């Protein structure tokens, strides 16, 4: 069975989330920092009158901060708590995959990352790392 994923990049790694979970994709949005909030929260953004919490995927996945001066993008997803934004480096395309090239997350991936991934798809020239959005939005430092 084929599945579609909205893809994005973090540190040159290709990630994806189920396209059905995605509300919209936006270029850089102004965010309001939240005092004393967890370091995984980039801030709050106003999305046409709706207040959306933006999560810093680099912090959640333990990646280095984005280079100074880069403008991140937002992948806004549907959740049980309402819309939430995943802050990413760059948005990719919608990719259709085949389950025949899917593999569960290898045991060699340890710690937080292992828990937040559903697995990987082997594409022609790279791997598509699939995030478990439910676990990502409920991640606690």
Q: Note the pLDDT tens digit of each residue in 64-79.
A: 988 888 899 999 999 9
Q: Which H or E run includes 92?
A: strand 90-98
The pLDDT of 5-25, averaged and rounded, is 95
Look at the chain and report how many structural domains it folds into: 1
- What pLDDT, on the 0 to 100 scale, is given for residue 85? 97
Regarding predicted confidence, which is higher, 95 or 115?
A: 95
CB distance 132 to 17 below 8 Å: no
- What pLDDT, on the 0 to 100 scale, is given for residue 107? 76
Least-confidence region, from 18-27, 102-111, 120-129: 102-111
CATH number at residue 122: 2.40.50.180
- pLDDT beyond 90 at 58: yes
Domain limits for position 34: 2-137
């Amino acid at each position: 069975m084929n599945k579609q994923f909205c893809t994005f990049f973090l540190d040159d790694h290709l990630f994806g989330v189920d396209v059905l979970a995605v509300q919209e994709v936006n270029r850089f949005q102004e965010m309001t920092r939240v005092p004393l909030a967890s370091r995984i929260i980039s801030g709050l953004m106003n999305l046409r009158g709706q207040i959306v919490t933006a999560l810093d995927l680099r912090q959640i996945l333990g990646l280095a901060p984005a280079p100074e001066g880069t403008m991140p993008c937002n992948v806004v997803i549907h959740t049980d708590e309402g819309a939430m934004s995943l802050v990413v480096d760059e948005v990719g395309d919608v990719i259709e995959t085949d389950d025949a090239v899917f593999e569960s997350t290898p045991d060699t991936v340890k710690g937080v990352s292992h828990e937040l991934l559903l697995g990987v798809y082997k594409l022609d020239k790279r791997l598509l790392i699939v995030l478990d959005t439910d676990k990502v939005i409920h991640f606690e430092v």
